[in-house]
Amino acid sequence: MHHWSRKDFGSTFRWGVSTAAYQTEGCHDADGKGLSIWDVFTRKRGAIYQGQHADVACQFYQRYADDLQLMHGLGIPNFRFSLAWSRIFPQGRGAINAKGLDFYHQLVDTCLALGIEPWLTLYHWDLPYALEQKGGWTNRDVVGWLGDYAETCARAFGDRVKHWMVLNEPLVFTGAGHFLGIHAPGRRWLKNFLPAAHHAALAQAEGGRRLRFHLPDAHIGTTFSASYVEPQFDNDRDRGAARRADALFNRLFLEPALGLGYPTTTLPFLNRLEKYHQPGDDKLLPFDFDFIGLQVYTREVVKHSWFMPYVGATLVKAAARKVPHTLMGWEVYPESIYRMLKQYAAYPQIKQILVTENGAAFEDTVRGGRVADDRRVAYLRDHVGQVLRARQEGVPVEGYFTWTFTDNFEWAEGYRPRFGLVHVDFETQQRTVKDSGRWYQAFLAGQAQESVPKPTTT
């Protein structure tokens, strides 16, 4: 069994943690912040597990200095976080809220003072509610709104922040938020999903262009959720279902950014996007990103289904397959991250890949001041091992950020799934570093790991 360590990744490989504003900051109406679609959506009866919301969350807005000190103590050198659009523009556009801008100035400065490199995500799902009232992502004007917001942030922080991401997982905020209605803003059906998807794809590129105009030397990317998709059975129908699911999960927003257009051949229903196309859009969809953020948690096994409109595929849940899974019901399948790194690397247009999220939720309990989260330690170690495997095969993967630093508000699932390296008691705001946090600290300090036996594909 050979051993590997941080050194095997080389000295330029970026290690970090990722978080999001709405999931951690709390103080939802403090210091002039406007409402976001999540502030409003969490008030809907039955929308969120046990009626929970993130008005308080981790109080990161007040506790950021202590949390960054803790991060520094664990030796974590890079921190990906998002800016709350409605903290900076309470109405989504127009008047800037100086106190909101000031918070992010202090946050960036505190990171830099501690030797932690800030990585900014412009949009992590929390659209200002004032813009939602004008149609939000279904209104084509959102492309300009996001562009103006990107420009304001570039001017404010671009002298100190070198790494930028435009969107977080457009498939999720358009799919869960505008087709299924299970995330904010709770819109449903194709009539909402299609315009939202096209406008998000345009905004992704527009945000990149605005950042590049103001910050020619910045390192600019955007992030995508991705899951390795396999057919349940090796027959034509399930293989076809897997191809369609892969096009939806892994190609829909990536390929337009790369100048390849939408994957309409595999998913003919996407031809209905034409309705929202304007002349010249083909030139507006691509942007030459410096890096692509890949966010992988699991694999999906799919089977053919006549009943699933548009995609003709349905997921076979991990529990039904009797395979190990997390509290989110997601299969623990480390090879998925290797497969997706290889799949992304096959696009010649992609210059650099960073794993901008990867992590797992389990039942975590504090006993005697300790959280023994062995399954998360194994999950992270095995996934990092698969990233190394891809890197050693020539995949241009240059970083790994685990999701997430502290336990937080997990969207529709509320506070039940804990993804953090650090446990948060939401009654007292007490932080307790979990064994996984100690593992990451030891790994970053150079401690060797066992090599991961290569899993066999099913």
For residue 181, the SS3 value is: coil
Contact 303, 233 (CB under 8 A): yes
Rounded-to-integer distance, Cα 190 and Cα 271, Å: 12
Question: In the predicted model, what is the mean pLDDT of residues 296-301?
Answer: 98
132, 300, 335, 357: which one is catalytic? 357
What is residue 452's predicted lDDT score, i.e. its pLDDT? 59
Closest CA to 451 of 399, 381, 360, 375: 381
pLDDT the model gives residue 458: 42
Give the domains, in start order, of the chain with CATH numbers. Answer: 3-447 (3.20.20.80)
Tokens encoding 3: 């051993």
- Over the stretch 47-90, which tens digit does the pLDDT of each residue have? 999 999 999 999 999 999 999 999 999 999 999 999 999 999 99
Residue 125 has pLDDT above 80, yes or no: yes
Asked if residue 450 has pLDDT above 90, the reply is: no
Among residues 110, 118, 20, 54, which one has the least CA distance to residue 357?
20
Q: Which of 206-215, 256-265, 305-314 has the lowest mean pLDDT?
A: 305-314
- 19: amino acid identity, one letter: T
Mean pLDDT computed over 367-381: 97
User: Is the separation of the CB atoms in 122 and 173 below 8 Å?
Assistant: no
- The Cβ of residue 156 has, within 10 Å, a number of other Cβ atoms equal to 18
Please report, rounded to a whole number, the percentage of residues in the chain having pLDDT higher than 90. 97
Please report the sign of the dihedral spanned by the C-alpha atoms of residue 285, residue 291, residue 297, residue 300. positive
User: Residue 229 pLDDT > 50, yes or no?
Assistant: yes
* pLDDT over 80 (residue 451): no
| 393 has catalytic annotation | no
* Counts for the chain of helices (H) and strands (E), in that order: 16, 13
> Nearest-CA neighbor of 352 among 271, 294, 295, 393?
294
Q: pTM score, two decimals?
A: 0.97
**177-219 confidence digits (pLDDT tens):** 999 999 999 999 999 999 999 999 999 999 999 999 999 999 9
**Is 274 in the active site?**
no
Which of the following is catalytic: 132, 169, 255, 300?
169
Strand-pairing partners, residue 228, are: 299
